[in-house]
Amino acid sequence: MDIGVWMGAEVLAHKLQARQQANTEQAWNLFRWPARLSQQGEHRLFVAVNGAWRGYFKLSSDALYNPNDDAAPFSLLFDTCTWTPIEPVPTKRFRGFTYNLPPLGSDRTTSPPSSPNSPTQRAHPPSQAIGDHRQ
């Protein structure tokens, strides 16, 4: 099952920079658990930036829960090397997560992965801690 989140361009750029590090795993924190992720199978985290869906990460089968974090106790884990860019699909800004995702077909995916200097991945200094999406 798949879910989608909205990230700032600088946050996505920071996540993608982790592909060059020894530990390529990153996290995305959520206030509530996406029930559909409890189903069996492969799960993906779709990312919307600047008004369009841009791609997705394959989610780890592991997740974290921190009952002491009232704002975002659930952390989804993903390997940044699994980033798969797609042709931009317009979407409206949203909070939290959504199951309303872009349709994928063989014509929607692109390769190779986007470069760090592409419009959705501008190189900006990270303004938040790794995995912290709160702004």
Which has more confidence, 130 or 76?
Answer: 76
pTM metric for this prediction: 0.77
Per DSSP, 115 falls in state: P
106 — pLDDT class (breaks 50, 70, 90): low
Predicted confidence (pLDDT) per residue in 40-91, tens digit: 999 999 999 999 999 999 999 999 999 999 999 999 999 999 999 999 999 9
Of 78, 29, 20, 84, whose CA–CA distance to 53 is shortest? 84
Domain boundaries, the chain: 2-121
Cβ atoms of residues 41 and 73 within 8 Å: no
- Any idea which fold 2-121 has? ph1033 like fold (3.10.590)
